[in-house]
Amino acid sequence: MASEVSPAAPSRPFSDRVWANLMMLAEYAEPDQPGWTRRVFSPAYLESRQVVADLMEATGLEVTRDAAGNLLGQLAGAEPDLPALVIGSHTDTVAGGGRFDGMVGVVAAIEVARRLRAEGTRLRHPLRVVDFLGEEPNRFGLSCLGSRAVTGHLDPAHLQLRDASGLTLGEALVGVGGQPEAIQSARWKANSIHGYIELHVEQGARLEETGRRLGVVSGIVGIHRVRVELVGRPDHAGTTPMGSRLDAMQAAAQVILGIDRIGRRQEGAEGVATVGQIAVEPNSPNVVASRATLVAELRSLDAEWLAQGDQQVAAQVAQVASETGLVGELSWLSQEAPVACHPTLRRLLAQAVRELGVDPVELASGASHDAAHLAGLGPMGMLFIPSRGGRSHCPEEWTDPEQVALGTAALLRAVQVVDRAQL
């Protein structure tokens, strides 16, 4: 792990500096985890965020941390009474994650602020650069912590969520400089932003497949996450006849296949369904499993598809429980609706991209983002740069340096265009 802060020197060319900062940030990884893991609340995350704060400060931004642990850097505008134009993303990763998902948006946003200052360009609106706390799912079962908080949707009840060790989310927040008792102070007033623009890697292969270099996002999928508990009975795996078992592992296998089928149904609208997490007890080769806990998620751009999916998951679990004699329980961890990007902002982002001599493509996002929450506060738009092979949430996640540089240039142009626009 890197031990000292080394913001890349201001004299470096624009593209080199963004890349250098990205690679420098990647050094702050959890040593005992695969890939470039830097999960929210980990020591590596804490260290890396100090680096981000130092980068913001070195750029001349006024740096603050709010009660939700968000890191904010503000650049004054020429008309200080105008609402802020907000840019940013997140710097936490999934376990075994990569170096680009989230980080590109934060590092590029800082670079945009640096460029504006270096060129002596003063925006009309204040520019707010944000590194939102914990966008990825975490051990408390709630993602997008920081962006939920600024929209007022991180509730006292959420702060009582516990991890496996019994620690509450509120207690964990204290560890990253948050103040759970003052969580509502992190909330931004309605209509207090001019707009929000997030640059992100696509995490899919559309750009690469169509040979396009920049994408303007049309909308972001909704995600419904549900925890399924299947409770059976522990028994000796050698002496208990097959017909006398209450086997939670076997029931879990049926539920997993059932949820996969739900994702494969294509009735007009499309979606995906995934069981990406499972824990079994006692997790021993010679004991029939007594309990299985799965977390499944459904994603779609279609709210109706998601609503039907919820019902089908519930029916699936009920059927498996009744056929196997186990107890099956469901609890929805989150039900986020699909979100459309702001039409005017979409048009302006496309215009900004064209001004760079690049033809943008419009595409939907199958990944979710802090932007989906920010849409509740004002106009929201996103720019995508390519992900090699469409790979993401894995160590191989990759975007070429020139693509990162082009994305940063597009973000800068977009900020300048949107600053002057009436949204």
Instruction: Enumerate binding residues for ligand HGY (CB under 6 A).
Output: 101, 135-136, 143, 367-368
- The residue count for binding Mn ion (CB under 5 A) is 2
Residue 207's binding partner among Mn ion, ligand HGY, none (Cβ under 5 to 8 angstroms by kind) is none
Residue 74's binding partner among Mn ion, ligand HGY, none (Cβ under 5 to 8 angstroms by kind) is none
Q: Which stretch binds Mn ion (CB under 5 A): 39-47, 101-109, 146-154, 354-362?
A: 101-109
CB of 57 to ligand HGY, least distance (A): 27
**By Cβ distance, which residue is nearest to ligand HGY?**
367
- β-strands 215-220, 361-365 pairing: parallel
**Cβ proximity to ligand HGY, 126 vs 309, nearer residue:** 309
**Cβ proximity to ligand HGY, 339 vs 409, nearer residue:** 339
CB of 367 to ligand HGY, least distance (A): 3
Half-sphere exposure in the Cβ direction for 237 (13 Å, CA): 13
User: Do the beta carbons of residue 61 and residue 129 sit within 8 Å?
Assistant: yes
Rounded to whole angstroms, how far apart are CA atoms 320 and 175? 41
Rounded to whole angstroms, how far apart are CA atoms 416 and 77? 12
For the residues of 225-293, what is the DSSP string, one character each? EEEEEEE---EETTTS-GGG---HHHHHHHHHHHHHHHHH--BSB-EEEEEEEEEEES--TTEE--EEE
Which of 102, 177, 379, 381 lies at the binding interface for Mn ion (CB under 5 A)?
102
Q: Decide if residue 101 touches Mn ion (CB under 5 A).
A: yes
CB of 371 to ligand HGY, least distance (A): 11
Rounded to whole angstroms, how far apart are CA atoms 23 and 103? 10
**Cβ proximity to Mn ion, 136 vs 419, nearer residue:** 136
**Cβ proximity to Mn ion, 36 vs 188, nearer residue:** 36
Half-sphere exposure in the Cβ direction for 310 (13 Å, CA): 18
Q: Residue 217 is which amino acid?
A: V
**Cβ proximity to ligand HGY, 289 vs 341, nearer residue:** 341
Binding mask 311-330 for Mn ion (x = CB under 5 A): --------------------
Length of the chain as a residue count: 423
CB of 136 to ligand HGY, least distance (A): 5
**Cβ proximity to Mn ion, 198 vs 247, nearer residue:** 198
Q: Decide if residue 131 touches Mn ion (CB under 5 A).
A: no
Q: Which stretch binds Mn ion (CB under 5 A): 63-71, 97-105, 110-118, 245-253?
A: 97-105
Q: Is 59 left (phi over 0), alpha (psi -120 to 50) or beta?
A: alpha
**Cβ proximity to Mn ion, 102 vs 180, nearer residue:** 102
Structure tokens at 203: 């995490």
Residue 368's binding partner among Mn ion, ligand HGY, none (Cβ under 5 to 8 angstroms by kind) is ligand HGY
Q: Rg of the chain's alpha carbons, rounded to an integer?
A: 23
User: Do the beta carbons of residue 253 and residue 271 sit within 8 Å?
Assistant: no
Structure tokens at 213: 């270099």
Residue 151's binding partner among Mn ion, ligand HGY, none (Cβ under 5 to 8 angstroms by kind) is none
Residue 66's binding partner among ligand HGY, Mn ion, none (Cβ under 5 to 8 angstroms by kind) is none
Cis-peptide, bond into residue 379, ω within 30° of zero: no
Rounded to whole angstroms, how far apart are CA atoms 146 and 221? 19
User: Do the beta carbons of residue 55 and residue 7 sit within 8 Å?
Assistant: yes
**Cβ proximity to ligand HGY, 320 vs 367, nearer residue:** 367
Contact set with Mn ion (CB under 5 A): 101-102
